[in-house]
Amino acid sequence: MSLRELKRARTRRALVAAATDLFERDGYEQTTVADIAAAAEIGTRTFFGYFATKEDLLFPETDERVRAARDAIAARGPADTPAEVLLRALSIVGEDGDDLTGRLAALRMRFIAEVPAVRGRALQIQMDVQQEIARQLAGAFPDELDVVAAAALVGAFVGAVTGALHALLNQDERDPQAIQRAVERATKVALRPWIAHDVRHV
């Protein structure tokens, strides 16, 4: 990374950290973009060079999730199935960060349940991510997946991750390793039909 890219990455991380602290302390609605920018020691106008909205601060790793899926698809072996590729992508996400298990993940789930604007943004992001990953997967496995099967497979995968996180965080589970294990178990349960059978006959 260039020096400029490193500085941008540091500022981005500072914004996410500041937002996490303020959201925990003051709540989502009470925290303003100006508050977050001030805590990160940047101007409000500069904030919008990093995040388009306050809601987007709750989803800072979306691009990394899609990139992990793309990387797993690109690195597939000749014997790999589409379901195995998705499970490998989830493992990469878990190893590379705490997007599924950290403080921000807990806040994100809480605000999705409580704040309509956050819920709407979450649904939009989820739909965009599912469509992109399904497109990549169908392109990588043209003999096994048509567009409908790819969409169904990715939908089951994303739904399992989301459902498991909601269930765990509602039980106040905070141990990152326990959360990661539970999410991986949930996805294996959801993808069992694709793991056990040829997807063309599911």
What are the residue ranges spanned by the domains of the chain? 3-51, 59-201
Q: Which residues contact 36 (CB under 8 A, 6 or more apart)?
A: 15, 18, 19, 22, 47, 54, 57
| Both structure tokens of 117 | 């604007």
Q: Is the pLDDT at 198 greater than 60, yes or no?
A: no
Do 20 and 103 contact (CB within 8 A), yes or no?
Answer: yes
Q: How many CB atoms lie within 10 A of CB 127?
A: 12
Residue 40's pLDDT is what? 95
CATH 3.30.420.40 fits 3-51, yes or no: no
108-163 pLDDT tens trace: 988 998 999 999 999 999 999 999 999 999 999 999 999 999 999 999 988 888 88
Amino acid identity of residue 62, one-letter, is T
| CATH number at 59-201 | 1.10.357.10
How far, CA to CA in Å, does 42 sit from each of 10, 52, 79, 102?
Answer: 12, 15, 50, 24
